[in-house]
Chains A and B, each alone.
Chain A
């Protein structure tokens, strides 16, 4: 059995978790195994329909009030007790902030190996094989895990969603004892960014800017462009972030975020090696740069050699027109 942890916020499943469930369904079919889902917290009955329609045969709801607020210690304890009981061969998470915080904690509890931030899974000789970029994508590592269960986190935006079917399943409720004082740290508050924009790791389209923007005020141009493109986010190169033009949470590249959007639009980004590594799993790259020799053009699917300040306004108009059609 492959067990998939469903990350929920405000009682709703994150899209990244549905991607993981979809991939689990595909690999389980090859393994001749079943897929089960697990969620922690109270009041999550509403997610069952969606979980079953994406291919899980069972949904384990671990209901315990201390799990309503995320804590690595509490959630790891809850999953540990479930895994110890149902003994899945693999446990998958999405490689989101929560998944990457929680999965290693559970792995250490189980003494199990963990494949972080996978971009490809395969089954060979009845065994799971994990593939993940290292050095932010400059190299790719493939491996098996010797432990049972094998744990993995899967990179968001990489694994396609299975179309929802009408499958039914079984909800199994579990309670777990979380001893008083066991949770020594917990999330007390979530502060949303003002405009609640999408994170670059979750966006379908990234509108990204570098030193060619010349100053912090010109990121407004990119934000305006992003505003008309659905599911888009604003990204930035390291030099733009280090110049203080935009917050580091927007940074794409080796000391920022590794991204895999459908479309990466690079404005005024020359394409340093650490930036190119971070965008290498983008499905399509577009570069706009004045310098025809800029390394970004070597990886771009479409390029415009020109002044971004002259390209952005007509681009915006043309996009608006196409998107409204």
Chain B
């Protein structure tokens, strides 16, 4: 592959409750109650899809989007089709959320092997919800590929990529060879809206479904390393003191309280 050649990009997306969601727990199953939640594509994954589409528009090639999960994830994949993805694939896995990144990474690595011939694997930097941020690095390791995570700018030239990744108080510039794993951070791009034409076409498209059991993973590989003990909603914080008086008085009182009562200043 070089300049002027097309890019085949796989993007991996997850269906998650939107960020407005209030989380309620079923203590019997130690799981999040899904009833009443509005599900969306995980926001960081949306940046990954957008980046893949932009690279394809610049260089040609294909964008194939995968999701691992139950059939409900077909809605998420249809959104990706409506945004402009060429193909989408559901890796059907009905196992309840285990919060185990390794299990998901093994599934995705096996799917990537099955649909080989990619130049780039794109992810969101983490799923909104599990918040693990494990899967991209794990997939990179399982496939022996270089990685660039939490990326806010990506450039591909020929067989080489340059990624700018956010670190504390700065940015790391990473240079890597393709194929590679890249995970998207907010700021990478501004995701497009679906077009009406795209939505109509997505409706008609038949989405291939690959059961996770058909990826050649052993029972051990599909087991979870995580043994859940508890899942709770944290005790709500208590409302504190409202400081009265004019702004100057209130400000002085605040500093006094921070210094003398809370002792944080």
Specify the chain B residue showing the minimal Cβ separation from A122. B229
Max chain A Cβ within 10 angstroms of own Cβ: one of B20, B168, B233: B168
Contact (Cβ within 8 A) B174 A305:
no
Contact residue among A113, A138, A146 (Cβ-Cβ distance under 8 Å from B23) = A138
Contacting A113 at CB < 8 Å: which of B21, B173, B225, B231? B225
Does A173 reach chain B (CB closer than 8 Å)?
A: no
- A107 sits at the interface (CB 8 A): yes
How far apart are A122's CB and chain B's nearest CB, in angstroms? 10
Q: Residue B214 at the A interface, CB < 8 A? A: no
Q: Are B252 and A98 in contact (CB under 8 A)?
A: no
Chain B residues with CB under 8 Å of A141's CB are 99, 228, 230-231
Chain A residues, CB < 8 A from B252: 314, 318
Alpha-carbon gap, A229 to B258, bound state (A):
13
**Cross-chain contact B170 with A192 (CB below 8 angstroms):** yes
User: Contacts A184-B176, A301-B240, A311-B247 given: A139-B170 contact, CB under 8 Å?
Assistant: no
Q: Which residues of A contact B100 (CB under 8 A)?
A: 113
CB A314 to nearest CB in B, in angstroms, measures: 4
Interface centre among B32, B242, B251 (most CB of A within 10 A): B251
Q: Is the CB of A108 within 8 A of B131?
A: no
A271-325 interface (Cβ within 8 A of B): 272-274, 280, 283-286, 292, 297-307, 310-312, 314-315, 318-319, 321-323
**Complex alpha-carbon distance, A141 and B141, angstroms:** 26
Q: A17: CB under 8 A from chain B? A: no
List residues of chain B with CB within 8 A of the CB of A306: 247, 250
Q: Could you tell me if B226 and A143 are in contact, using CB atoms closer than 8 angstroms?
A: yes
From residue B40, how far is it (CB to closest CB) to chain A in Å?
11
Min CB distance B57 to A, Å, is: 24
A299 touches B239 (CB 8 A): yes
Counting chain A CB atoms within 10 Å of each CB, the highest count among B166, B169, B241 belongs to B169
Structural contact, B129 and A108, CB atoms closer than 8 A:
no
B201 to chain A, nearest CB (A): 29
Smallest beta-carbon distance B254→chain A, Å: 6
CB of B65 within 8 A of chain A?
no
Given contacts A190-B170, A306-B250, contact A185 B175 (CB under 8 A): yes
Question: Contact: A134 with B173, CB < 8 Å?
Answer: no
Residues from chain A with a CB closer than 8 A to the CB of B240 are 285, 300-303
Residues of chain A with a CB closer than 8 A to B256's CB: 318, 322
Nearest-CB residue, chain B, relative to A70: B172
* Contact indicator A116/B170 (Cβ below 8 Å): no
When the two chains form their complex, are residues A186 and B175 in contact, meaning their CB atoms are under 8 A apart?
yes
A73 to chain B, nearest CB (A): 6
Query: Is there contact, CB below 8 Å, between A302 and B225?
Result: no
Asked if B251 contacts A318 (CB within 8 A), the reply is: yes
Q: Is B132 an interface residue (CB 8 A)?
A: yes
Q: B169 contacts A192, CB within 8 Å?
A: yes
For the complex, what is the distance from the CA of A312 to the CA of B252, rounded to whole Å? Answer: 11
Q: Mark A157-193, 1 if CB is under 8 A from B, else 0.
A: 0000000000000000000000000011111111111
Q: Which of B4-12, B83-91, B112-120, B143-151 contacts A (4 or more CB under 8 A)?
A: B143-151
Q: Is A105 an interface residue (CB 8 A)?
A: yes
Instruction: Fill in one digit per residue for B236-248: 1 if any A CB lies within 8 Å of its CB, else 0.
Output: 1101111100011
Q: Chain B contacts of A299 at CB under 8 A?
A: 236-237, 239
The secondary-structure label for the interface of chain B is mixed
B199 part of interface (Cβ distance < 8 Å): no
Q: State the Cβ distance, B156 to closest chain A Cβ, in Å.
A: 13
Complex alpha-carbon distance, A304 and B262, angstroms: 16
Mark the stretch among A38-46, A58-66, A196-204, A215-223 that contacts chain B.
A196-204
Interface residue B205 (Cβ < 8 Å from any Cβ of A): no
CB distance from B264 to the nearest CB of A (A): 5
In the docked arrangement, what's the CA distance between A189 and B175, Å? 9
Taking A112-B225, A315-B255 as given, write out 18 further A-B residue pairs in contact, using a Cβ cutoff of 8 Å, ordered by the A residue number. A70-B172, A111-B102, A114-B225, A129-B229, A134-B131, A135-B17, A135-B23, A136-B19, A186-B176, A187-B174, A190-B167, A196-B170, A229-B265, A274-B19, A284-B264, A302-B241, A304-B247, A304-B250
B contact residues vs A (CB 8 Å cutoff): 17, 19-23, 25, 32, 43-44, 99-102, 105, 128-142, 145-150, 152, 161, 164-177, 180, 185-187, 224-234, 236-237, 239-243, 247-248, 250-252, 254-259, 262, 264-265
Chain A residues with a Cβ under 8 A of chain B: 70-73, 76, 96-98, 100-105, 107-109, 111-114, 116-117, 129, 132-147, 183-193, 196-199, 201-202, 205, 229, 247-249, 251, 253-256, 258, 262-263, 272-274, 280, 283-286, 292, 297-307, 310-312, 314-315, 318-319, 321-323
> Can you give 16 contacting A-B residue pairs, CB < 8 Å?
A107-B101, A108-B141, A112-B225, A134-B129, A135-B128, A142-B229, A186-B174, A193-B170, A247-B187, A263-B258, A304-B243, A307-B247, A311-B247, A311-B251, A314-B247, A322-B255
